[in-house]
Structure 1
Amino acid sequence: MEGNLAAALALRAETYGWRDHPLFYAGDVTYSHGEVHDAAIRAAGVMHAAGVRPGHRVLIALPDSIGFVTALLGTFRLGAVAVLTGPEQAEAGHAHVLADSRPQAAVCAPELAARFPSVQVLTAEDLTDEPAAVPDPARLPPDAPAYVQYTSGTTGPPKGAVHRHTDPEAYFEALAIGALGVTPDDVIFSLSKACYPYGLGATVFFPMFCGGSAVLWPDVPTVEGVLEQLRRHHPTLLFTVPTWYARLVGAAAEHEAVEHGAVEHGAVEHGAGGREGVFGSLRAVASAGEPLLPSLADRIEDVFGCPVLDGLGSTEVGHTFISNTVTRRRRGAVGLVLDPYEITVRGASESAEPGVLYVRGPSVMAEYLGRPEQTAEVLAPDGWLRTGDLVHVDEDGFVHHHGRIRDQLTVSGERVSPLEVERALGQHPGVVEVVVVDSADDDAALRAFVVLATGTMPAPELEAELLAQVRDRLPAHKVPRSVTFLAELPRTPMGKIHRATLR
């Protein structure tokens, strides 16, 4: 099997005695490590009978489910390459991935089959059939490609980052072990779906590498749905983006208000409260994808009763490579560089001045699929990846994020980092999320969009207060012309803020 990840994970479960341990909780059903690996072997047999061979690509468009996991592992076992895409993507998104990756087969729900013409289409149910024969795991070199994940597409058509069979163990050791200290007793719940980098690591690979378990939840997240999963499965680790932490903190605040009223009337019903409620099983929560405002981080820790670990990762690296940890964290920083990664900051004349972040490590992508010129723009022959982030590193080694190069704005002829303005607005206790963009009809003006905490009401007086707060901290050209209050910010399917929509 050599470098075959599916075979290596199955052997790991056998060697450490995990085969009978729970691996996935899916509604009322529990799947053990052994059951999942056995199901993946059957799936490999079905796909092999359908013509899938080493080096072929298999497009997988399934929700978080046992079918997704067995399709993924079955593809690995055959030495084929999994191409991951969200089943919720629009038809145009699927068409792009299909044309770009040119798969041999697709695994999807029956209602999506028509989107993938001219390829062999299988369903998750097909993969449960008993195959006539099951081939041995493909013998692969360590650098063999395993899966392709697409970038968010905020700066053009999504590009497929190619990752190897050895990549997941690298980012497991970095974040799961190095930052979170995972053990076989941990139950992981990720609101980011497994077709995307954050969820793939948290939901699929982390529990398989450590002998722990995870929640498989196919639904589109809602606050009530998340709370129900927390009540049912009692996870110890939660992974999501700042938006969802804000919503959960808001739900807890609403529950507290209701409970307070109930106490006054002599009736209390426990639900979405803080440490004593549905969040009581959590020992740590991880945040990534967007900047985490310090004010929101404080609220999360108050409500959840456990540390929130901000971090920085990318599709090109596979997962998080800089993070706060359960033993070392600093509010306002994205964390420490995690072993085995290394970073360098280029273009800064002083240590406290932001520069361009480069990262090197064993899980940095091999290439953008079929795009050698775009690969060469970000990935040097010596392995250094240009991330497009602006950062500085303080004297204690903590990395501070100053936004993305592509998000920088020109206002009145001067360059402005919107994150600097967003943090100034975010210091107000009523602000949980904020985005600053340039004005489409005035190149000398910025506009701010703000999501408020539960119980904070939008009003002209509040807008004036927020603008005055920025005026006290930053030069005049960095003060937004206006503040618009929104119930939520527009986002891509990967959960990133879609700034172009706000412009």
Structure 2
Amino acid sequence: MNEVSAPVAAMQDRPWLQHYPPGVPADIDPAQVGTLVDLFRSSVAAYASRPAYESFGARLTYADLKREAEAFASWLQGAGMKKGDRVAIMMPNVLAFPVAMFGALIAGCTVVNVNPLYTPRELEHQLNDSGARVLVALENFAVTVQHALPRLNLDRVLVAAPGDLMGFKGFIVTAVSRYVKKAVPAWDIPGAIRFTEALSQGRGKSPASVTVSGDDLAFLQYTGGTTGVSKGAMLTHANVASNVLQAYLWFNAGGEGEADPVMVTALPLYHIFALTACCLFMLKSGGCSLLIANPRDIDGFVKTLKGARFTRMSGVNTLYNALAHHPQIRSVDFSHLAFSVAGGMATQAPVAKLWKEITGKPILEGYGLSETSPVVTTNPPTLEEFSGTIGYPMPSTWVVIRDAANNDLPTGEPGELCVKGPQVMPGYWNRPDETARVMTPDGYFRTGDVAVMQPDGQFRIVDRAKDMILVSGFNVYPNEVEEVLAGHPGVLEAAVVGAPDDNSGERVVAYVVKREESLTEEDVRAFAKERLAAYKAPKQVIFRAELPKTNVGKVLRRALRDGG
């Protein structure tokens, strides 16, 4: 009786299972998960001669990746880095990024991904909070490191160039960056060494073997969560490796997928979406990641696409929209494209419709967060038309909709989306209070997003976490922006909300009560731009005599969003 009822109960609890693509299992096999080091070792052995990464026309094979990553691991160990020590990486999508990342993981270290667009203030917080001992930064952003350095506790700073690991072509790429585009501000970091020099020093010997388990931390992925306090989501090797396996089974269940897969990787690798869904997913697939260093240069991006053969794409709504409206996009060869995936922000139906018209393939929208490694749900690769949903939960993933009292809600009723699975983090770095706030007694992570479950087990997002602002796929947390604005001597009070924007999805709007009547909108914006990454700075400042508040003095952001 039990043997019959168990699968039936599973179907009732997880109605999405009966709608899974053919061949996708209900659950992943824990024995197949391993660690990211295991994944790296197996892939570089199996696909040694294949290209692993391409940047500016230069390629690294899997054999190259193994050699250079092991060289960096050896250097780290020679520099005194031990298992569990944190290595921060502050780079866009260049070849040095995966080499530094895998080298750190091989050495048993934990990787701290850093947005290179951070201001010195933001960089200082993240590096000091994580306890990073080594930082690898692209030279284009070294001046930021220089300004933050007096307040950092780093042992070593390594500086990479855009053309590193590209051979002779790299000299040209670096020269153009420095002298033509003038994209490298003058910097001075005492004791800094070149990334290529570290690799040269590490090539003399193999790295010492380090025993890494699934419970060891692979990444500290910083996020504001739902409270706006910047904190590191602790992602273990098992968390991320599980999510890679879940995605691999989902997209390759019908066979081994397309021959010689190439993923257009325009989203930055320091972002959890690209890290797992592009970089690590392609490592598992034996494919090549076509790295786009500056996706905001749409002309250059389209030019790269016109000269490339690619089979997979990933992006956010604003990126697909910009590409779809480029005058040269229809001259790109999309005949090899197997699928396009989107996440990070809501995909708009008009954008999805235009994208399919151009490429012949629908956009497969998914959902995830830094805390979930990130993929929770996604549409199946068999989808023929854009669905407007975030799809079905991954194998071994349980998703429920709950009210504020942690009660499960029925199908079709909106509530908070809560998730449990092997990809869910164990908690926030050194923040047990924040961890307790988002984890339920029965082990679910409360996402802060409002969703509904449809009868077939698909999910649809109704609203995002009430205060978070999503600018081109990046989270902006009002608390942080408000704190910066409050530091201006001419500001009495400030509240920050999001407003719809055709280009970026949302824009940051600041409502300000003046302390000094001479204060102007430009004063406020300039002050913010000096202290915040550009996407976080207010695009609009509205002055008010007072801000709407509750009877206990809490600012009512919702009233401001609603025009109150």
Q: What is the TM-score when the length of structure 1 is the normalising length?
A: 0.74
Q: SS at the partner of 1:325?
A: coil
* C-alpha distance in 2 between matches for 1:217 and 1:291: 22
1:185 corresponds to 2:280: no
Structure 2 vs 1, CA of residues 69 and 159 (structure 1 numbering), >3 Å: closer, same or farther? same
CA deviations over 1:311-332 (Å, ceiling 9, x no partner): 1110100122111112146622
Q: Does 1:323 align with 2:398?
A: no
Task: Give the structure 1 partner of residue 337 of structure 2.
Answer: 282
Is the 2:87–2:134 contact (alpha carbons within 8 Å) kept by the matching residues of 1?
yes
Look up the SS of the partner of 2:365 in the other structure.
strand
Q: Deviations over 1:387-407 (max 9, x none)?
A: 111111111111111012424
2:329 aligned to 252, 256, 272, which one?
272
Task: Flag the 1:447–1:174 CA change in 2: closer, same or farther, 3 A.
Answer: closer
The question of 1:343 aligning with 2:396 is answered: no
Residue 370 of structure 1 corresponds to which residue in structure 2?
430
Relative to 1, partners in 2 of residues 1:340 and 1:177: Cα closer, same or farther, differing over 3 Å?
A: same
Correspondence for 1:484:
none
Give the match for residue 111 of structure 2.
82
Q: CA deviation at 1:450?
A: 4.6
- Pairing 1:121–2:151 present: no
Distance 2:308 2:536 in 1: 27
Equivalent of 1:54 in 69, 80, 83: 83
Give the match's secondary structure for 1:53.
coil
Change (3 A) 1:79 1:22: same
Shift in Å, 1:351: 1.7
Superposed displacement of residue 349, structure 1? 4.8
Distance in 1 (CA, whole Å) between partners of 2:36 and 2:213 is: 11
Residue 169 of structure 1: SS of its match in structure 2? helix
8 Å CA contact 1:76–1:146 kept in 2: the answer is: yes
- Relative distance call for 1:451 and 1:126 in structure 2 (3 A) is same
CA distance in 2, matches of 1:396, 1:203: 28
In the alignment, the residues of structure 1 paired with residue 105 and residue 419 of structure 2 have an alpha-carbon distance, to the nearest angstrom, of 27
Are the counterparts in 2 of residues 7 and 137 from structure 1 also a CA contact under 8 Å?
Answer: no
* Mapped partners of 1:496, 1:308: distance in 2: 27
Mapped to 1, the partners of 2:415 and 2:462 lie a distance apart of 9
- CA deviations over 1:360-419 (Å, ceiling 9, x no partner): 1111112111111001111245431111111111111111110124249xxxxxxxxx99
| 2:451 maps to amino acid | V
Alignment partner of 1:299 is 2:354 = yes
Is residue 103 from structure 1 mapped to residue 132 from structure 2 by the alignment? yes
- Displacement of 1:356 in angstroms is 0.9
SS of equivalent residue, structure 2 residue 448: strand
Q: Contact between 2:363 and 2:386, CA under 8 Å: does it hold in 1?
A: no
Partner of 2:44: 13
Change (3 A) 1:306 1:377: same
Aligned residue number for residue 151 of structure 1: 223
Secondary structure at the counterpart of residue 248 of structure 1: helix
Q: What are the Cα deviations for residues 408-431 of structure 1, in whole angstroms up to 9, with x where unaligned?
A: 9xxxxxxxxx99xxxxxxxxxxxx
What do residues 108-137 of structure 1 show as CA deviations (whole Å, max 9, x unaligned)? 135244234431212332332132433333
Summarize deviations over 1:10-45 as a string: whole Å, max 9, x none.
23331xx31111111111211111110111000001
- Alignment partner, residue 454 of structure 2: 394
Over residues 263-308 of structure 1, what are the superposed CA-to-partner deviations in whole Å (9 max), with x where a residue is unaligned? Answer: xxxxxxxx321xx634444221111111112232212211221121
Residue identity in the other structure for 2:90 = A
Q: Secondary structure at the match of 1:198?
A: helix
Deviation at 1:202, TM superposition (A): 3.1
The DSSP-based 3-state class of the residue aligned with 1:214 is strand
| Aligned position for 2:418 | 358
Distance in 2 separating the partners of 1:496 and 1:287 = 22
Residues of 2 paired with 1:203 and 1:179: CA distance? 13
Equivalent residue pairs, number: 410
Match 2:245 to one of 164, 173, 183? 173
Instruction: Give ranges in structure 1 of 5+ residues lacking alignment.
Output: 256-270, 409-417, 420-436, 438-445, 454-489
- Quick one: which amino acid aligns to residue 247 of structure 2? L
Q: Note closer, same or farther for the CA distance 1:350–1:312 as it changes in structure 2 (3 Å cut).
A: same
Partner of 1:462: none
Task: Give distance in 2, aligned partners of 1:133 and 1:452.
Answer: 50
Aligned to 2:372, what secondary structure does the other structure show?
A: coil
Give the 3 Å change call, closer, same or farther, for CA 349–80 of structure 1 in structure 2: closer
Greater Cα shift, 77-86 or 102-111: 102-111
Once residues 285 and 355 of structure 2 are traced to their aligned partners in structure 1, the CA distance between those partners, rounded to angstroms, is: 27
Contact map agreement 2:50 2:62 (CA 8 A) in 1? yes
Shift of 1:499: 10
- CA distance in 2 between counterparts of 1:370 and 1:231 reads 47
User: Distance between the aligned counterparts of 1:209 and 1:305, measured in 2?
Assistant: 26
SS at match of 2:436: helix
Q: TM-score scaled to structure 2, two decimals?
A: 0.67
Residues in 1 aligned to 2:252 and 2:533: alpha-carbon distance in whole angstroms:
26
AA aligned to 2:389 is: A
Q: In 1, distance between residues paired with 2:378 and 2:81?
A: 38
2:369 matches 1:314: yes
CA distance in 2, matches of 1:388, 1:209: 31
CA contact (8 A) 1:67 1:127 kept: no
In the alignment, which residue of structure 2 is the partner of 1:202? 277
Change (3 A) 1:3 1:450: closer
- Distance (whole Å) between structure 2 residues aligned to residue 43 and residue 210 of structure 1: 24
Aligned equivalents of 2:442, 2:258: Cα separation in 1: 34
1:35-84 Cα offsets, whole Å, 9 max, x none, are 10111000001111111111111111122122111111111111111111
Q: Pick the aligned partner of 1:403 from 457, 463, 476.
A: 463
Equivalent AA in structure 2 for residue 339 of structure 1: P
Task: Please say which of residues 26-35 and 3-12 is displaced more in the overlay.
Answer: 3-12
Q: 1:386 to 1:240 in 2, by over 3 A?
A: same
Correspondence for 1:266: none
Letter in 2 for 1:331: S
- Counterpart of 1:352 in 2: which secondary structure? coil
Query: In structure 2, how many angstroms separate the alpha carbons of the residues matched to 1:279 and 1:78?
Result: 40
In structure 2, give the amino acid aligned to 1:129: S
